[in-house]
Amino acid sequence: MNVLVAYASRLGSTRAIAERIAERIQADGIAATARDVETVDDLIPYDAVIVGSAVYAGHWLKEASRFVRSHDARLAARPVWMFSSGPVGKTATAHEPVESEEVAELARIVGARGHRTFAGSLDRATLDGAHLSSVERFVAKRFVAEGDFRDWPAIDAWADGIARALDATTATGKPPTTTVSV
């Protein structure tokens, strides 16, 4: 069993979530690697895939949705989970996140077993040199709450649930009857 955690990130916080998920799955005894979606051409080496994207202006980053659409058949043939890293600020953890229609459609295309939204992070010191448009940079400086709102215990628990589900698949050769909560 070899798991790919493919991510799209502008400022690095989603990359860190992806790396944490891969480390956690490895600690659970399953090989896992985190890679930028743009560096992944071939899914054949992977038995299961987790795809995650930062959310900007209400949308997944284009390279993440392109990754899902361009690998749709291979993803549909594997267990897939998805995560979004988005809300920051006081409301980030106060409400149940609403799944966007865009993400719901991507999940449908590949038959994803779950989608989870994790609170994100913004450190304005990382804005210099980041791949942001001038409008995004302005919004980031003026309107987006700064701080690290990532919930590492929740991220770890989600990764552990995926590892358990994959263990069950390996043991029985069939998909698990229970899925990881969305």
Ligand X SMILES: Cc1cc2nc3c(=O)[nH]c(=O)nc-3n(C[C@H](O)[C@H](O)[C@H](O)COP(=O)(O)O)c2cc1C
Specify whether the CB–CB gap between 21 and 158 falls below 8 A: yes
Q: Pick the closer one to ligand X by CB: 86 or 114.
A: 86
10: nearest Cα among 130, 128, 103: 130
* Region from 3-11, 24-32, 35-43, 164-172 binding ligand X, contact rule CB under 6 A: 3-11
Cα–Cα distances in angstroms (integers) from residue 171 to residues 46, 73, 75, 133, 166, in the given order:
17, 25, 21, 47, 9
* Region from 26-34, 72-80, 86-94, 105-113 binding ligand X, contact rule CB under 6 A: 86-94
66: nearest Cα among 53, 85, 78: 53
Task: Choose which of 31, 109, 144, 182 interacts with ligand X (CB under 6 A).
Answer: 144
The residue nearest ligand X at its CB is: 120
Task: Choose which of 34, 60, 71, 86 interacts with ligand X (CB under 6 A).
Answer: 86
Residues interacting with ligand X, by CB under 6 A? 9-14, 54-58, 85-88, 120-122, 136, 139-140, 144
